[in-house]
Amino acid sequence: MARARTIHGTSVSPGLAIGPVHVVRAAPDAVPTWSVAEVDVGGEIERLRRAVAVASEELLRRQHLVARESSERDAQIFAVHRMILADAGATKEVEDTIRGERVNAETAVHQLIGRLEQTLRGLEGNSVRSYSADLADPWREVLQALLNVAQAFPQGSQEKVVLAAAVLTPQVVTAVERGRLLGVVAEVGGRFSHAAVLARAFGIPCVVGLPGLLTRLEQGMVISVDGGRGVVELRPDADQVVEFHQRRSRLEARRASLSEQADLPAQTADGVRKGVLVNIESVHDFDIFDVLQSDGVGLLRTEFLYMERPQFPSEDEQFRMYRRVLERMAPKPLTLRTLDIGGDKRLSYFQTPHEVNPALGWRGIRVSLQWQDLLRVQLRAALRAGFGNELRLLLPMVGGLEEIEAVHEIFGGVRDGLIDQGFEVERDTPVGIMVEVPSVLFALDRIAPHVDFLSVGTNDLVQYILAVDRDNPWVAKLYEPLHPAVVRALANIAQVANAARKPCSVCGDMADDPATALLLFGMGFDSVSVAPYFLPEIKSALRRTKLADMRQLAVDALAQSSVEGVKRVLSSIRESLA
Ligand code: PEP
Ligand code: MG
């Protein structure tokens, strides 16, 4: 009997997609070593040459990206990296290792990187050391290409694909340019993991919870993805394809009509003004939403701007990036979150120690306060760009007042320094914190007077309240934003913020859901900030509901003792929104 071709999983990001699948195999952490038989040496060298070509193409792609997003000057580093790869001497060295030691190309490249690092590590001077990094970096790209050989794309292909992977990771979601990405499916993955956040930010359908999926796929097989329902169809037949296109037309028509109304103000049915803002990661996000429909950017995740580069962006480079996003948003506010690396958000050029428990480790503001020069450069760039614009600064992963005071001191020094140097800066730039570490919750009444606004990062807050790693697919089922403990924590945050007269918002992804957004407004939050895809739907839900009904929703949800109970309460309002 043929196995069912319809597979039910868990919805991560809504939308409908159909197209050829491309299986992405994650690169292993360690470099695998094996010996190569004499007859295979030629093939191994050919594999190396192909990987050098792939890496060179990838560097060219990044060069164009940075030139487009920043400047030709910033993009030059990639041109230098490509020249290094074009040097026949180094390639010959690697080929000699393959031939002489009869090892695989990965091992030979790995050895070359080690030698390059070793030679220049001992030398004095920053510029020499950074030159050493420049020499080794392009070869890391070759190593990556070799490790990814199973997933290599036909270079230069413009084909749009649905990506499939064993585990949903940020690397999978960014494996091809956004314009070519139709959807993502994975055997396992967290609904609120950083990879899921990216899928929603890109507005592409994504489904996880599909055990055994990869064994049933072949490269290029056509599949359809219903992100909202969490359904994947393998090799849909002609009737199913017709039905799929009909459903997609209906969805597009609905989104178009919601979008028309999204120009109207974000207010309740009885005229109470609320805020609906967007979360963005890059200047490209402006292509997928209408600035006029939002009340501003509630969260700019600056770490993604850092992640796209081969080294730390300079102050001027950051200044230009921030200016571009501020100007695109003007006169509406833009909330710039300082660098939030750590956990699974890593920078290829910033080696950090291995952590057994990274979610509880070196993350967010902890990194910025330890490496204060990073923070200073970012603040200088932000303050310079903020002049004449509505800039707000947001601090991630704050755990207590001491960190806020430390940032204020650095901030004051940076401001004075800029003024002394003749830069124009705003007199007051609001500084707020992410509420995502439980210690802040219990001390919020003491902390609130020291900040200008609060923004709740529920993606992290939920993982810390429930002790469920948001990025660990094995506990994904336990990650439940509608847990009564979370609901009570959120209501409490809104209450304390309101009493302290501090604006409070939710920028975690749970606010993407219209019924949940209404619950948050009913609790007393002033605004929500969501991935652009969800903006029209949230505004429509808000405009159709009276504040009193949202408040009642909050009262009913708070009376529940189980996740099921809270979901039942929300389903009542969900029906009225359908
Ligand atoms: C959050 O934690 O909810 C949040 C908005 O930040 P991030 O997802 O980037 O950690
Ligand atoms: Mg967070």
Phi, psi of 388 (to 5 degrees): 80, 0
Compute the residue count for the chain. Answer: 578
Residues 362 and 485 in one domain: yes
Model confidence at 270, pLDDT cuts 50, 70, 90, reads very high
Q: Which residue has the tokens 């220049």?
A: 120
Q: Does residue 30 surpass a pLDDT of 80?
A: no
Gap from CA of 29 to ligand 2 centroid (Å): 25
Give residue 81's pLDDT.
Answer: 86
Q: What is the CATH number of the domain that holds 203?
A: 3.50.30.10
The catalytic position among 22, 81, 110, 194 is 194
Residues 216 and 250 in one domain: yes
**Which of 96, 129, 146 is the endpoint of a domain?**
146
The set of protein residues with a Cβ atom below 6 angstroms from ligand 1 is 197, 299, 301, 340, 436, 457-460, 507-508
Tell me the C-alpha distance between 166 and 144, whole Å: 18
Gap from CA of 373 to ligand 1 centroid (Å): 24
> Of all protein residues, whose CA lies closest to atom 8 belonging to ligand 1?
459
Residues 377 and 415 in one domain: yes
The ligand 1 atom at the shortest distance from the C-alpha of residue 197 is 8
> Of all protein residues, whose CA lies closest to atom 9 belonging to ligand 1?
301
**Which of 115, 146, 177 is the endpoint of a domain?**
146
Give residue 309's pLDDT.
Answer: 79
> Of all protein residues, whose CA lies closest to atom 6 belonging to ligand 1?
457
Residues 141 and 178 in one domain: no
Q: Is residue 440 part of a domain?
A: yes
Give residue 40's pLDDT.
Answer: 83
The mean per-residue pLDDT over the stretch 479-498 comes to 98
Residues 110 and 220 in one domain: no
| Assigned token pair, 534 | 């969800």
The ligand 1 atom at the shortest distance from the C-alpha of residue 299 is 5
Q: Does residue 442 surpass a pLDDT of 50?
A: yes
The ligand 1 atom at the shortest distance from the C-alpha of residue 456 is 3
Q: Does residue 260 surpass a pLDDT of 80?
A: yes
Gap from CA of 508 to ligand 2 centroid (Å): 7
Residues 162 and 142 in one domain: no
Tell which residue, 439, 440, 453, 435, has the closest CA to residue 501.
453
Residues 309 and 181 in one domain: no
Gap from CA of 470 to ligand 2 centroid (Å): 10
Mean pLDDT of the chain: 89
Q: Is residue 566 part of a domain?
A: no
Residues 427 and 314 in one domain: yes
Q: Is residue 570 part of a domain?
A: no
The ligand 1 atom at the shortest distance from the C-alpha of residue 455 is 5
Q: Is residue 187 part of a domain?
A: yes
Q: Does residue 454 surpass a pLDDT of 90?
A: yes
Model confidence at 69, pLDDT cuts 50, 70, 90, reads low
What are the tens digits of pLDDT across the range 315-356? 999 999 999 999 999 999 999 999 999 877 888 778 777 888
Model confidence at 280, pLDDT cuts 50, 70, 90, reads very high
The ligand 1 atom at the shortest distance from the C-alpha of residue 458 is 3
Q: Does residue 154 surpass a pLDDT of 70?
A: no
Give residue 435's pLDDT.
Answer: 98
Percent of the chain with pLDDT over 90: 63
Q: For this structure, is 22 an active site residue?
A: no
Query: Do the strands 222-226 and 231-234 form a parallel or antiparallel pair, or are they unpaired?
Result: antiparallel
Q: Which of 76-80, 201-205, 209-213, 256-260 has the lowest mean pLDDT?
A: 76-80
Residues 226 and 294 in one domain: no
What are the tens digits of pLDDT across the range 381-434? 999 999 999 999 999 999 999 999 999 999 999 999 999 999 999 999 999 999
Q: For this structure, is 206 an active site residue?
A: no
Q: Which of 77-81, 327-331, 374-378, 496-500 has the lowest mean pLDDT?
A: 77-81
Q: What is the CATH number of the domain that holds 324?
A: 3.20.20.60
Residue 479 DSSP one-character state? -
Conformational region of residue 397, where left means phi above 0, alpha means psi within -120 to 50, and beta covers everything else: left
Q: Is residue 16 part of a domain?
A: no
Model confidence at 150, pLDDT cuts 50, 70, 90, reads very low
Q: Is residue 71 part of a domain?
A: yes
Residues 130 and 162 in one domain: no
Q: Which of 132-136, 495-499, 532-536 has the lowest mean pLDDT?
A: 132-136
Gap from CA of 124 to ligand 2 centroid (Å): 39
Domain count, the chain: 3
Select from 441, 460, 462, 486 the residue to mutate for testing ligand 1; criterion: most ligand atoms less than 8 Å from CB: 460
The mean per-residue pLDDT over the stretch 163-186 comes to 87
Give residue 331's pLDDT.
Answer: 95
Radius of gyration of the chain (CA): 25
DSSP-based three-state secondary structure for 336: strand
Nearby residues for ligand 2 (ion, Cβ within 5 Å): 436, 457, 460
Residues 237 and 350 in one domain: no
Residue pair 163/24 in contact (Cβ under 8 Å)? The answer is yes
Host domain of residue 123: 29-146
Q: Is residue 358 part of a domain?
A: yes
Residues 51 and 159 in one domain: no
**Which of 254, 289, 313 is the endpoint of a domain?**
254
Q: Is residue 568 part of a domain?
A: no
The mean per-residue pLDDT over the stretch 51-57 comes to 89
The mean per-residue pLDDT over the stretch 50-64 comes to 86
Gap from CA of 394 to ligand 1 centroid (Å): 12
Tell me the C-alpha distance between 280 and 396, whole Å: 15
